[in-house]
Amino acid sequence: MEAVVFNKQGQETGRKLDLPEDVFGIEPNNHVMYLAVKQYLASLRSGTHKAKEKSDLSGSTRKLHKQKGTGGSRKGSIKNPLFRGGARVFGPRPRSYDFKLNKKVIALSKRSALSSKVHDQKIIVVEDFTIDTPKTKEYIEFLKNMNLEGQKVLMIVPDLNINVLLSSRNIPEADVIEVDSFNAYDILNAETVLISENSVGVITELLSTTKA
């Protein structure tokens, strides 16, 4: 599988780059991608919710009336959950929502996400470039050249160039991420994925199933 390499001006360079089938051309595993996205979103939850239970409330522990002879039910405390202002039964407690996925599952989710984008023709390979000074205008011009203005675009680079990062930071729909940091959610959440030329080799090295 070959991909045309584009330059910063959005023009074809005349070069083509091989995209390994075992990374960019597999049959996407939808369930594995679901698990990867679910884990990522779950890890973002703060889990700081807390409801006051009986031991957390302030209030008298005096027995409200005698045990028998009133014709009513037994009431041991004003903090009873049945009363207005009383405690909550089995309320939420602080917890972590994160859960573990095996490394092979995570790798498969990345391959599936990349292959899904390739199938939809939403992956573009661009030659490596830098920006001399941080300018949002220059990154917007780059997106215009690629006909991606207004789209949600993810740029995967081998090394995070600070000027490229700062130039894209003020654009709501543009993200720049290092090649060893992306996950399936990053790929699937973007409309179009730009992969720098040198990042293809790193992705292949990290995810290929045919390593010697």
Residue that wins the pLDDT comparison between 161 and 157:
157
In order of 17, 94, 170, the CA distances from 204 in angstroms are: 12, 40, 31
Q: SS3 helix, strand, coil % of the chain, rounded to 5? A: 35, 15, 50
Tokens describing residue 86 = 């009383």
Domain regions of the chain by residue span: 2-29+100-207, 46-96
Closest CA to 117 of 109, 126, 105, 129: 109
pLDDT of residue 131: 86
Q: What is the pLDDT of residue 200?
A: 92
Is 60 exceeded by the pLDDT of residue 211? no
Cα separation of 23 and 207, whole Å?
6
Q: Is the pLDDT of residue 84 over 60?
A: yes
Amino acid at 154: L
pLDDT given at position 92? 92
d(C-alpha 112, C-alpha 72), whole Å? 63
Spacing of C-alpha 122 from chain mean position: 18
Are 123 and 199 in contact by the 8 Å Cβ rule? The answer is no
* Residue-averaged pLDDT of the chain: 90
Provide the pLDDT confidence category of residue 212 given band limits of 50, 70 and 90.
very low
Beta strands in the chain (DSSP E): 2-6, 12-18, 123-126, 153-157, 174-178, 192-196
- DSSP reduced 3-state for 101: coil
State pLDDT tens for residues 11-52. 988 889 899 999 999 999 999 999 999 999 999 999 999 998
Model pTM?
A: 0.82
Range with the poorest average pLDDT among 72-81, 117-126, 147-156, 184-193:
72-81
Listed residue (184, 192, 188, 207) closest to 40, CA to CA: 184
Q: Of the CATH numbers 3.40.50.720, 3.40.1370.10, 3.40.50.970, 1.20.1370.20, which one belongs to the domain with range 2-29+100-207?
A: 3.40.1370.10
Q: Give me the helix-helix angle, 103-119 and 30-44, nearest 10°.
A: 110
pLDDT(61) > 70? yes
* C-alpha to C-alpha distance for 108 and 173, rounded to whole angstroms: 26
Of residues 98 and 209, more confidence is placed in 98
What angle is formed at CA 118 by the lines to CA 206 and CA 145, rounded to 5 degrees?
105
Cβ atoms of residues 106 and 38 within 8 Å: no
Which structure tokens are listed for 176?
Answer: 């720049």
The whole-number average pLDDT for the span 81-86 is 86
